[in-house]
Amino acid sequence: MDEVDQIVAAWQRERPDLDLSALQVLSRVSRLAHHLDSVKKLAFSKAKLEPWEFDVLASLRRSGKPYSLPPRQLIKENLVTSGTMTNRIDQLEKRGLVSRKPDVKDGRSIIVSITEEGKSLVDTAFQELLKIEADLLDDLSTSQRTELARILRALTKQFND
């Protein structure tokens, strides 16, 4: 029995009239998310990055050459407000990890680009994260990983609209 089994058993004792099947699944997902946040912080700290810094740099890095995006795309990918993204870009620019340039297509807008230092740091952090995440999934077979990914994709689909 794990912690969730104990919680469910207590609720079943107190409220046998309730269906606790969602609690069995989503409490584990919630606890897993908490542990994954800790793992990410550890992986990113080795590259001297905060999780939010990794998220912005990773958006730029995976965008492909020239590794540049408009702020509105960064906002969309990072699920933050425009004010939060402006602050994040400011902080990353101060660290020399991104630069701002005028958008040649629209002089009123800017484009954010990752610097070589930012690219190097995000690559290091990403490799470390993948190594740690692979270790976490080590006890699952390839088919179990595939099935789990399929199930989680189906579960999160409702939030992707």
Q: How many residues does the chain have?
A: 161
Q: pTM for this one?
A: 0.84
CA 73 to chain centre: 16
Cα 65 to Cα 55: distance, rounded to the nearest angstrom: 18
Q: Which helix (H) or strand (E) holds 68?
A: strand 68-69
Average pLDDT for runs of 10 along the chain of length 161: 96 97 96 94 93 97 97 95 97 98 86 98 96 95 97 91 61
Q: What is the largest CA-CA distance in the chain?
A: 65
Cα 20 to Cα 36: distance, rounded to the nearest angstrom: 24
Residue 106 confidence (pLDDT)? 82
Residue 108 confidence (pLDDT)? 83
Q: Where are the domains of the chain?
A: 1-45, 48-159
Sign of the alpha-carbon torsion through 85, 91, 97, 100: positive
Residue 107 confidence (pLDDT)? 76
Residue 21 confidence (pLDDT)? 95
Residue 161 confidence (pLDDT)? 61
Q: Which fold has domain 48-159?
A: Arc Repressor Mutant, subunit A (1.10.10)
Q: CB 155: neighbour CB atoms within 10 A?
A: 12
Q: Are strands 106-114 and 68-69 parallel, antiparallel or unpaired?
A: antiparallel
3-state helix vs strand vs coil in the chain, percent to 5: 70, 10, 20
* Residue the block writes with tokens 């930012």: 118
